[in-house]
Structure 1
Amino acid sequence: MSLCWHDFSLCPGIGNLLWVVAWFWLVADSPHQHKHISEKERLYITSSIGKGGIKKNGVLTAMPYICQFFMAIVVGQVADRIRERRLLSTKNVRKLFQSIAFVGVGAFVCGMGQMDCEQRYAAVAMLCLGFILLSANTAGYCPNHLDLAPRWVHF
């Protein structure tokens, strides 16, 4: 008896079911409702959130994504100009910008991991810089599908 691809069609469903069970067991809506953390952890989390206020923390959370949004527009234009002027081939533009995205965000996230709650503004600034560099993937990986698609269209 040989196995076919449809014999494994239950695997994603079983995996999702296990994930949901783990999620309901491990996750809570707030630190006060969580069953599996200590009182020390609960106090640390609530005091960290309370220092800046929920609205201020919301703005800080949104900042990296706002930076990435605006920079993605700029990066796309820069990549197009490099290709138009034939400074680099399309392949090399994609590789260059994807490398900038990976290395840049990796460096800033590693640096950000060395900070504590008292340095949250510096951590958000580092995350913003990392996301600005991550936006280079809009000229790296993201348009690569469009570069390849015309070669394989047959009418």
Structure 2
Amino acid sequence: FPAVQSLWGRWAPPLERSKLVSFTYLGTMFGMVGTFSTSGLLCQYGFDNGWGSIFYITGGLTLLWVCAWFYITADTPDQHPRITEAERKYITSSIEYNTNIRTLKTPWKSIAMSSAVWACLTAHVCNNWTNYTLLTSLPTFMKEVLKFNIKNNGALSAVPYICQAVSGFLAGQTADILRSKGVLNTTHTRKLYQVSSFLGAGALLVAVGYSSCDKRDVAVVLLSLAVMFTGLSRAGYIVNHIDFAPRYAGVLYGITNTLATVPGMVAPIVAGALTPNKSQMEWRYVFFVCAGFDLFGAIAFGLFASGTIQDWARDEVEIEVKIPKEVEVNSDKKMEMVQAENEKTLVSVEPEVTYSTVVKRHVDSDPSDKMVKMVQF
């Protein structure tokens, strides 16, 4: 996932990020849908005692994907051998930083003190708590509480993730429409989708906790809607890393994703500890915990998230031009061409003046507004 974020930070034009990132994440949804739909059948009828066939088939498909990946992708638009020149210019002109300049130093202190980073981290952890709980425990809940058999269990467990795939894709499309038409700015768009994701999923999971086997169709619908709401995060915190720090999007997602995998280890343990007797009441507590994480994530992201590129993530180049003490000045024009470090720079010079000028180039977060600021010391 960090590699994908880093790649889109170099390739995705600002007003197309939501749709491109959400489309990319369809792959994870298709993977879960395919696995849930076929694992039950492979377990019963597959080769190598059933279970083995699941791993051989998924592993083989992954190897095929790797071959396609190395052929299709490139680090930057300038390095890609098969895109058109018009497409290359369009992408590179819209990205907020020069993708060909290698980042030598990561601003760790600024990252650690950034409220935007902490908002994404909190949202990532809270979202993953719900996702990992459902991913690992949903088949068990359907079997033990809703009383579905193993064949129906696998197919029905895939239904919520089909809904998530659809909602995630639509969220990306609509988010970019809102931004491109000026209905909402990037910050408000990210907050709208992420907070809606948390509150919608949390409320529906609470309702699922009151479902029983005699109303299991209702429970499946509520679960599907809850997981569908989690798909809105594709236009929320997931793409937000690229919004406020495109150059460091891979680094940031690596940090948040590492800490957000902790729920993947803890959430199943908590779910197991809360359901020793596998009763409906015990499962209700599991969903209450998920709803609590969703509520906390909504508050944190709603208060502190930002879609504006941060100062420490801006493209900055410094050039120091030193003017000699003794410069022959034309008193009429008061202009002189000064040779400085193999670069000709036209400067206005007053007699007997010595100073240095530092030129800092900052690329603004607005893709249509690139500014060059002159600062004299």
**Amino acid of the structure 2 residue aligned with 1:142:** I
- Quick one: distance in 1 between partners of 2:244 and 2:184? 17
Matches within 5 A, 1:94-105: 94-105=190-201
Q: 2:153 aligns with which of 41, 57, 62?
A: 57
Question: Which residue number in structure 2 is paired with residue 148 of structure 1?
Answer: 244
1:153 to partner: Cα distance = 5.6
CA deviations on 1:98-144 (whole Å, 9 max, x unpaired) are 11100000110000100112222211100111122221111111101
With 58-67 and 102-111 compared, the bigger mean Cα shift is at 58-67
Of Structure 1 and Structure 2, which has the larger fraction of its residues in strand?
2
- Deviations, residues 2-53 of structure 1 (Å, cap 9, x unaligned): xxxxxxxxxxxxxxxxxxxxxxxxxxxxxxxxxxxxxxxxxx94xx67x532
Give me the whole-angstrom Cα distance separating, in 2, the residues matched to 1:76 and 1:133: 13
C-alpha distance in 2 between matches for 1:60 and 1:118:
16
- Structure-2 residue corresponding to 1:87: 183
User: Counterparts of 2:221 and 2:171 in 1: how far apart (Å)?
Assistant: 19
SS across alignment from 1:115: coil
Give me the whole-angstrom Cα distance separating, in 1, the residues matched to 2:210 and 2:196: 22
Pair 1:116 & 2:212 matched: yes
Partner of 2:166: 70
TM-score (norm 2): 0.27
Residue by residue over 1:53-112, the C-alpha shift from the partner in whole angstroms, topping out at 9 and shown as x without a partner, is 211111111111111012211110000100000101100000010111000001100001
Aligned partners of 1:98 and 1:64: how far apart in 2? Answer: 18
Bigger-Rg structure (1/2): 2
Which residue in the other structure is 2:226 paired with? 130
Take 1:52 and 1:116, find their aligned partners in 2: how far apart are those partners?
Answer: 12
Question: TM-score normalized by structure 1?
Answer: 0.64
Counterpart CA distance in 2 for 1:135 and 1:52 is: 25
Aligned residue pairs total: 109
The runs of 5 or more residues in structure 2 that have no matched partner are 1-142, 247-308, 318-377
Aligned equivalents of 2:221, 2:204: Cα separation in 1: 9
Distance 1:73 1:79 in 2: 10
Q: CA RMSD in A?
A: 2.0
Query: What is the aligned partner in structure 2 of residue 29 from structure 1?
Result: none
* SS in structure 2 of the partner of residue 86 of structure 1: coil
Q: Distance in 1 between matches of 2:205 and 2:148?
A: 22
**2-side partners of 1:147 and 1:102: how far apart?**
20
Percentage of identical aligned residues: 39
Name stretches of at least 5 consecutive residues in structure 1 with no aligned partner: 1-43
Give the secondary structure class of the aligned counterpart of 2:237: coil
Structure 1 consecutive aligned stretches of length 4 or more whose deviation exceeds 6 Å: none
Considering fraction of residues, name the structure with more helix.
Answer: 1
1:135 and 1:117 map into 2 onto residues whose CA distance is 26
Q: What CA distance in whole angstroms lies between the structure 1 residues aligned with 2:188 and 2:314? A: 23
Counterpart amino acid of 1:126? L
